[in-house]
Amino acid sequence: MLGDVSGKAAPAALYAALVSGILRSLAARHLPPADLLAELNNQLQERKLDSQYVTMLMAVWHDDKRTLQLANAGSVQPLYVTSCAADAGTERKPADPAGGLCGADGLNVSTIQTEGFPLGLFPDAQYEELTIVTKPGDVLVFFSDGIVDAENAEGEMFGTERLTAVLREHPSARNSAQATVDAILAAVAAFQAGTAHFDDETLVVLRVL
């Protein structure tokens, strides 16, 4: 799970604690990601706080089949890196921001196109769910908006294109999940070049073995 609560300081921290507590109570039910988000959203309606909501990606990994079930409640859409030669895909193929074409490096870096309402805003919200069928060597990158919205001294944002370039231009970064995280954070830090960080920069990387 990767979540981001609206607002700052104590109110956001208290709401994050509330969400975390509800999630812990729901975890024992082993619900699919879309159902878990729907139930979490319903429970937040019973504890509704003005102007508070949370965006969240929820995923369940199945090691025996190398599949990932994924649902999204308003969070940043993750990236999926796979070899063009790999027989990998989804039940609903994710759209490739580069037009579905492989790069000269033999990689396809695509955005996993799944959306949904943030949690805590609307009652009875339903969520779309994808099942991604992966192959060894595939990489999935989940990240907060603080990564792509990071700004340099000129006010430019790091953006998804630069993030994609990091994944394409540093083959060694795909050798392990930790190496991928390190390469992305180093690229963001170099881009900001000492400017103040105004938001969290959170990454969760999954590399298929």
Sequence-distant (6+) residues with CB within 8 A of 105 are 168, 171
Global pTM? 0.87
Query: How many angstroms separate the CA atoms of 46 and 44, rounded?
Result: 5
For CA atoms 25, 205, 77, 147, give the dihedral sign: positive
Please name the residue that has the structure tokens 């060597």.
137
For 191, the 3-state DSSP assignment is helix
- Do residues 116 and 75 make contact, with C-beta atoms less than 8 angstroms apart? no
Structure tokens that stand for 113 in this block: 């196109």
pLDDT at 85: 67
For residue 182, the one-letter residue type is D
pLDDT at 87: 46
Rg of the chain over all Cα atoms, to the nearest angstrom: 18
Query: How many angstroms separate the CA atoms of 27 and 38, rounded?
Result: 13
What sections of the chain are H helices per DSSP? Answer: 9-27, 33-45, 145-148, 159-169, 177-192
Q: List 81's β-bridge partners, or say none.
A: 109, 139
pLDDT at 97: 38
pLDDT at 99: 40
**Helix axis angle, 159-169 to 177-192, nearest 10°:** 130
pLDDT tens for each residue of the chain, 209 residues long:
999 998 888 888 999 999 999 999 999 999 999 999 999 999 999 887 777 899 999 999 999 999 999 999 999 999 999 988 654 455 544 444 334 457 767 889 999 999 999 999 999 999 999 999 999 999 999 999 999 999 999 999 999 999 999 998 876 656 789 999 999 999 999 999 878 877 888 999 999 99
pLDDT at 96: 41
